[in-house]
Amino acid sequence: MSILITTVEIFVLIYSDNYMSHDEGYLRFFAFMSLFNTSMLGLVTSLNLIQIYIFLELVGMCSYLLISFWFTRPAAANACQKAFVTNRIGDFGLLLGILGFYWIMGSFEFQDLFEIFNNLIYNNEVHFLFVTLCASLLFAGAVAKSAQFPLHVWLPDAMEGPTPISTLIHAATMVAAGIFLVACLLPLFIVIPYIMNLISLIGIITVLLGATLALAQKDIKRGLAYSTMSQLGYMMLALGMGSYRAALFHLITHAYSKALLFLATKSIIHSMEAIVGYSPEKRQNMVFMGGLRKHVPITQIAFLVGTLSLCGIPPLACFWSKDEILSDSWLYSPIFAIIAWSTAGLTAFYMFRIYLLTFEGHLNVHFQKYSGKKSSSFYSIKLWGKEKQKIINRNFRLFPLLTMNNNEQPYTIGGKKEALITITNFGYKKAFSYPHELDNIMLFPMLILLLFTLFVGAIAIPFNQEGMHLDILSKLLTPSINLLHQNSNDFEDSYQFFKNVTFSVSIACFRIFTTFFLYKPFYSSLQN
């Protein structure tokens, strides 16, 4: 777990060094990032409920500070508050759960908790309802942190922050904190079947919700946010089923793939900035993208690998983990399994939708027929001078380094002091600029992550029961309890394994093809 965090951290730091180099708030950004790193590492190395609580809160605070990094945008201001309050609600539940358990057990240490708890359960001395309540409260903390179903609302809005933040916090690490919490407390939860059911239920709801919401997103980062939510649901589902190893494995693989995807997204956005300006409504809007394959090939490869990995295509990383979860879900409950499998297909679908919209086809900016939600804004790009306030984007193109503290788009009228005429001249030039590739420094971490994504799946190839990461985990906690593997040895039988595998892969491929069919003709029809 620590390896995961530190490696992702390093890459994001390198990346954001370049990204933020022209930003005024550079210092602040790195201060917050370091604080976040500290909290995260503290979180995964704590053996104590109170310590975990402390670090969870700190992580929440760092997330607040980082989301609000460009705080002059009102959307960011609202988003960060939402994130913090939602996290606080979770922490409230967590605190109550901690206190409840303290009251019963009289201790905070994990070891003591588990021992005493097991004794109490076996001797039937404890009030079951109360214990269930406390455990569900503890779980509530994880729900908020990992953006599970009721408390997931902060995650898409959290994309207001800079993309390295999104990478770090909302793809790889902080949302993992919740999963980590549940995994730590899993020996506690296992004895209470209601809680396990609750966990898997919430997990599956999140999976479905995230996937369906991701289908309808226009914004790249939001789409990825929902996809994160969905994958987190998978992890939670796995935890609820008791297959602790699969959940953590998926956590690791997903973290790498998502980090890769987010960094690639950043490079895309960066290239789009050159065209459509600085406002995130435009530059993250997938509608305007398309056909970037020619312009940003390396990013495209990275994105493709990330997407394939996330969809569960062998031999990339997420395939192994997701497959483990999916096959475990068959053993747990058929309904969940069906939902999980179909959502895996949905995953493939929306991921490839994103990929195709971004990279294939032709650059949509040149098309005039797009009638999106803000049609006026679109027109303003092509037909300069129609919408006055959106022209301001042009300013930022011209003076990227001279803007005041990097605010995206001042929503007041104060900025439109410029005369329109000067702008239109520049507008002409812009139509012929192309999205450009990233600097090398930003490419480098992306490539490393790419490699990781390819090969991290090798950690726990199920031909051998013990994955490498199991050792790490068992150092931190008591040996894992893998409920389902005790019951069935489904990986000993290679044939069974391949059957499962092919089924899941075929679902994924089927969806991919569906996506192709749906989106390809969309483009070809628009070719003037």
Q: Exactly one of 89, 301, 459, 483 binds other proteins (CB under 8 A); which one?
A: 89
Rule CB under 8 A: say whether 36 interacts with other proteins.
no
Closest separation between CB of residue 69 and other proteins, Å?
Answer: 11
Q: Exactly one of 57, 160, 323, 324 binds other proteins (CB under 8 A); which one?
A: 57
Rule CB under 8 A: say whether 497 interacts with other proteins.
no
Whether the bond into 297 is cis, omega within 30 of 0: no
Using CB under 8 A, count the residues that bind other proteins. Answer: 39
Element (H, E) at 53: helix 49-67
Distance of CA 131 to the CA centre of its chain: 32
- Give how far Cα 232 sits from Cα of 148, 249, 284, 430, Å: 7, 12, 23, 41
Rule CB under 8 A: say whether 426 interacts with other proteins.
no
* Residues 301, 142: Cα–Cα separation, whole Å: 34
Contact 356, 520 (CB under 8 A): yes
Return the residues of window 117-136 that contact other proteins according to CB under 8 A.
Answer: 130
- Give how far Cα 92 sits from Cα of 89, 133, 135, 143, 154, Å: 5, 14, 13, 12, 16
Q: Exactly one of 26, 30, 71, 491 binds other proteins (CB under 8 A); which one?
A: 71
Closest separation between CB of residue 70 and other proteins, Å?
Answer: 10
Tokens for 106, please give them: 């009289």
Q: Exactly one of 85, 448, 459, 472 binds other proteins (CB under 8 A); which one?
A: 85
Rule CB under 8 A: say whether 525 interacts with other proteins.
no
Closest separation between CB of residue 133 and other proteins, Å?
Answer: 9
Return the residues of window 285-344 that contact other proteins according to CB under 8 A.
Answer: none
Which one-letter amino acid corresponds to residue 173? T
* Stretch of 65-73, 151-159, 160-168, 496-504 contacting other proteins, by CB under 8 A: 65-73
* Residues 528, 523: Cα–Cα separation, whole Å: 10
Rule CB under 8 A: say whether 509 interacts with other proteins.
no
* Residues 141, 135: Cα–Cα separation, whole Å: 10
Rule CB under 8 A: say whether 88 interacts with other proteins.
yes
Q: Exactly one of 3, 10, 50, 461 binds other proteins (CB under 8 A); which one?
A: 50
Rule CB under 8 A: say whether 139 interacts with other proteins.
no
Binding mask 383-412 for other proteins (x = CB under 8 A): ---------------------xx-x--xxx
Per-residue HEC secondary structure of 17-44 comes to: HHHCCCCCCHHHHHHHHHHHHHHHHHHH
Closest separation between CB of residue 333 and other proteins, Å?
Answer: 32
Closest separation between CB of residue 141 and other proteins, Å?
Answer: 12
* Stretch of 63-71, 147-155, 361-369, 462-470 contacting other proteins, by CB under 8 A: 63-71
Contact 222, 216 (CB under 8 A): no
Rule CB under 8 A: say whether 76 interacts with other proteins.
yes
Sign of CA dihedral 295, 297, 302, 307: positive
Nearest-10 Cα torsion for 235, 236, 241, 247 = 30
Q: Name the DSSP class of 109.
A: B
Residue nearer to other proteins on the CB measure, 73 or 511: 73
Closest separation between CB of residue 253 and other proteins, Å?
Answer: 31
* Residues 297, 314: Cα–Cα separation, whole Å: 22
Q: Exactly one of 84, 226, 278, 341 binds other proteins (CB under 8 A); which one?
A: 84
Number of H helices, E strands in the chain: 24, 0
Which one-letter amino acid corresponds to residue 186? L
Rule CB under 8 A: say whether 416 interacts with other proteins.
no
Sign of CA dihedral 195, 197, 200, 202: negative
Q: Exactly one of 3, 10, 27, 74 binds other proteins (CB under 8 A); which one?
A: 74
Closest separation between CB of residue 323 and other proteins, Å?
Answer: 39
Sign of CA dihedral 220, 388, 369, 396: negative
CA nearest to 264, candidates 282, 287, 281, 289: 289
Rule CB under 8 A: say whether 14 interacts with other proteins.
no
Q: Exactly one of 65, 147, 186, 326 binds other proteins (CB under 8 A); which one?
A: 65
Residue nearer to other proteins on the CB measure, 405 or 474: 405
- Give residues in contact with other proteins (CB under 8 A): 50, 53-55, 57-58, 61, 64-65, 68, 71-74, 76-78, 80-81, 84-85, 88-89, 91-92, 95-96, 99-100, 102-103, 130, 404-405, 407, 410-412, 414
